[in-house]
């Protein structure tokens, strides 16, 4: 049995006062949660603030990005040892926003933006290997653009991203990895992917993982769905056999709505 996970990706929201308030409210309500792992991923500036708020609770801390080198002349980047020193146990890798793939309109995915944000299949693989080597749990995001879905390329795009991310990873090291299927067109748009379709793609991800690290390991890996998860759709998403939790943006920024999602995930399996 795979333990469900509800992870909040706060993206570029919350200064330290707001982060403290939100994390304390979630910790007060769900600090003793059982049957569901809860991960809060605030911006890097608020990692230590959130760590203090969730101390002595069952809630864990995650970062939103990692760089593969341990130290050096990489202005603005954060290394695995730095994230560990802030109390992180998890790290999001290859979010579509960091890959420069934005959901509201495909034309947003310009070469200029790709240059600014910069993650590619190759950098995602290096970041994944770096996270594993430091004992951080990677939450690896994959997902297709609206145009790719319309052109019938969803399966090819998603399985290609999974295979590239996992390249060179040994089965023994892969068990802790978490995958997140985030169809880019469903992120921040209010347009949730149909639960059966999300389940189908998560099943495809698991079969792809089996090809990379073997069936036994693939069965243990948690696969989350992300993209406009909210109280109105979380129960049907969590009822799907291949969906082991959620990676949540907007609805993770209010304690009340995020706690509802945690409760639904904990009750689901």
Cβ-based nearer residue to ligand 13P, 128 or 213: 128
Contact 9, 92 (CB under 8 A): yes
Among 226, 260, 262, 265, binds ligand 13P (CB under 6 A): 226
Cα(113)–Cα(165) distance, rounded to whole angstroms?
21
- Establish whether 182 is a catalytic residue: yes
Per annotation, catalytic residue among 37, 95, 144, 260: 95
Cα(226)–Cα(193) distance, rounded to whole angstroms?
9
User: What is the CB neighbour count within 10 angstroms for residue 208?
Assistant: 22
Asked if 245 is part of the footprint of ligand 13P (rule: CB under 6 A), the reply reads: no
Asked if 229 is part of the footprint of ligand 13P (rule: CB under 6 A), the reply reads: yes
- Retrieve residue 114's tokens: 């790709």
Cα(225)–Cα(232) distance, rounded to whole angstroms?
15
Minimum CB separation of residue 215 from ligand 13P in Å reads 28
Cα-only R_g, the chain: 17
Contact 234, 191 (CB under 8 A): no
Contact 63, 41 (CB under 8 A): yes
Give the distance between the most distant pair of CA atoms in the chain. Answer: 48
Letters for 187-206 (x = contact with ligand 13P by CB under 6 A, - = none) are xx------------------
How buried is 84 (Cβ within 10 angstroms: 0-12 exposed, 13-18 middle, 19+ buried)?
Answer: middle
Minimum CB separation of residue 11 from ligand 13P in Å reads 7
Asked if 182 is part of the footprint of ligand 13P (rule: CB under 6 A), the reply reads: yes
Q: Applying CB under 6 A, what is the total number of residues that bind ligand 13P?
A: 14
Asked if 233 is part of the footprint of ligand 13P (rule: CB under 6 A), the reply reads: no
Chain positions 97 to 156 lying near ligand 13P, rule: CB under 6 A, are none
Among 247, 255, 261, 263, binds ligand 13P (CB under 6 A): 247
Residue 91, beta-bridge partner list: 63, 138
Letters for 66-85 (x = contact with ligand 13P by CB under 6 A, - = none) are --------------------
Minimum CB separation of residue 211 from ligand 13P in Å reads 25
Minimum CB separation of residue 251 from ligand 13P in Å reads 6
List residues with catalytic annotation. 95, 182
**Residue ranges in contact with ligand 13P by CB under 6 A:** 9, 95, 182, 187-188, 226-229, 247-251
């Amino acid at each position: 049995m795979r333990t469900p996970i509800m992870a909040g990706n706060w993206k570029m929201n919350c200064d330290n006062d707001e982060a403290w308030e939100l994390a304390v409210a979630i910790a007060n309500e769900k600090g003793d949660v059982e049957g569901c792992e809860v991960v809060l991923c605030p911006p890097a500036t608020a990692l230590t603030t959130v760590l203090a708020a969730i101390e002595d609770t069952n809630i864990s801390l995650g970062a939103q990005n990692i760089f593969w080198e341990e130290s050096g002349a990489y202005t603005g980047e954060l290394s695995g040892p730095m994230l560990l020193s802030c109390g992180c146990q998890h790290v999001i890798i290859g979010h579509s926003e960091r890959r420069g793939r934005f959901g509201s309109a495909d034309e947003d995915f310009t070469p200029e933006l790709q240059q600014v944000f910069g993650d590619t299949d190759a950098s995602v693989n290096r970041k994944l290997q770096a996270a594993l080597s430091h004992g951080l749990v990677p939450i690896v995001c994959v997902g297709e653009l609206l145009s790719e879905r319309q052109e019938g390329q969803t399966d090819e795009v998603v399985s290609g991203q999974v295979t590239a991310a996992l390249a060179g990873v040994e089965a023994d090291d892969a068990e802790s990895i978490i995958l997140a299927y985030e169809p880019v067109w469903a992120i921040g748009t209010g347009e949730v992917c149909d639960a059966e379709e999300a389940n189908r793609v998560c099943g495809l991800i698991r079969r792809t993982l089996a090809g990379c690290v073997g069936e036994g390991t693939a069965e243990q890996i948690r696969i989350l769905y992300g993209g406009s998860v909210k109280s109105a759709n979380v129960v049907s998403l969590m009822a799907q056999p291949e969906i082991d939790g959620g990676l949540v943006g907007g609805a993770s920024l209010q304690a009340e709505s995020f706690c509802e999602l945690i409760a639904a995930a904990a009750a689901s399996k």
